[in-house]
Structure 1
Amino acid sequence: MQFIIISACLLGQSCRYDGQCREYPEITPLCSRKDIVLIPVCPEQAGGLATPRPAAERSKNGVFTREGRDMTAEYERGAREALRLARLYGCRWAVLKEKSPSCGSFCIYDGTFTRTLTEGDGVTAALFRKEGISVVGESRIPWLLEQL
């Protein structure tokens, strides 16, 4: 049995920053595998942030709202909680929401609130990689399934 930690929003939980629930059809092949157990987590909620909450973006100096509120501590706390959960279940893989200041991998919004993308990882994705957990976004699920 393969335990994979996954952003709870990808499974349809209403934990997105705007409180909305979206469907992600990319997840269906992952959910249909009998040899995979998905462990949902929302690092933002685990870090103590409410839902809904102000949109935030990661910059080199931390994670901030458009109004300049520093939310770095909450994002870091949530990342540590997500890591604790991943370790508890022995997860070697994580499927995290792309572009997120917490979960984005390889490409995130640049902190200018202009929807400009830049190379980089969200806080949780960066911590997972540092701790040896492989991270993929929802668009890379077909590739992940080939690896398992």
Structure 2
Amino acid sequence: MKLCSACLLGINCRYDGRSKPSKKVLELARKEVLIPVCPEQLGGLPTPREQSELRGESVVTRSGKDITENLVRGAKQVLKIAKLFDVKEAILKQRSPSCGCGQIYDGTFTGTVIRGDGVTTALLKKHGIKVVSEEDL
């Protein structure tokens, strides 16, 4: 059993109200249980919502609103789900400010990618949960 970014399973929960289904993830879901999670929604943000990126230790929207608290709250909820089901691994959406694993956008909204982890990925890793991106499958 693994956690999985809900958008990778075809659930419309991304900032733009759409999904980002991954063929590899959908194939894996036929073989094992993947628990869909969306940290942004679990943190109280609506769908659709304004695009956001990590900028240093903060998460800001394109218009400059700080939504760090929402992403931290969502990450804590995802961790709670992981503990509830004794999950040891997660497959999360690459470059997301919540779910990015090894790659995130740089906070300039120019499409520039830098090394780093999203808020949820960082928290899960801190608690010993292995996180991979859909691109690593």
* Aligned with 2:26 (options 25, 28, 33): 28
Q: TM-score, normalised by structure 1?
A: 0.90
* Aligned with 1:91 (options 87, 94, 119): 87
Q: Which runs of 4+ in 1 moved over 4 A?
A: none
Q: Secondary structure at the match of 2:101?
A: coil
**Mapping of residues 74-85 of structure 1, within 5 Å:** 74-85=70-81
Q: Secondary structure at the match of 2:73?
A: helix
Gapped runs of 5+ residues in structure 2? none
Aligned equivalents of 1:22 and 1:87: distance in 2? 26
Q: How big is each residue's C-alpha offset from its partner over 1:71-95, in whole Å with a ceiling of 9 and x where there is no partner?
A: 0000000000000001111100000
Q: Considering only aligned residues, what root-mean-square deviation do their CA atoms show, in Å?
A: 0.9
* Aligned with 2:39 (options 40, 43, 47): 43
Q: Secondary structure at the match of 1:119?
A: strand
> Which letter maps to 2:10?
G
1:53 aligns with 2:22: no
Q: Secondary structure at the match of 1:108?
A: strand
Percent sequence identity over aligned pairs:
50
Q: Is the 8 A contact 2:9 2:26 kept in 1?
A: no
Deviation at 1:107, TM superposition (A): 0.5
Q: TM-score, normalised by structure 2?
A: 0.97
Aligned residues, how many? 137
What residue number does 1:67 align with? Answer: 63
Deviation at 1:139, TM superposition (A): 1.1
Aligned equivalents of 2:74 and 2:127: distance in 1? 15
1:15 aligns with 2:13: yes
Deviation at 1:6, TM superposition (A): 0.5
Aligned equivalents of 1:129 and 1:21: distance in 2? 25
Deviation at 1:115, TM superposition (A): 0.3
Q: How big is each residue's C-alpha offset from its partner over 1:100-144, in whole Å with a ceiling of 9 and x where there is no partner?
A: 000000000000000000000000000000000000000112xxx
What residue number does 1:145 align with? Answer: none
What residue number does 1:101 align with? Answer: 97
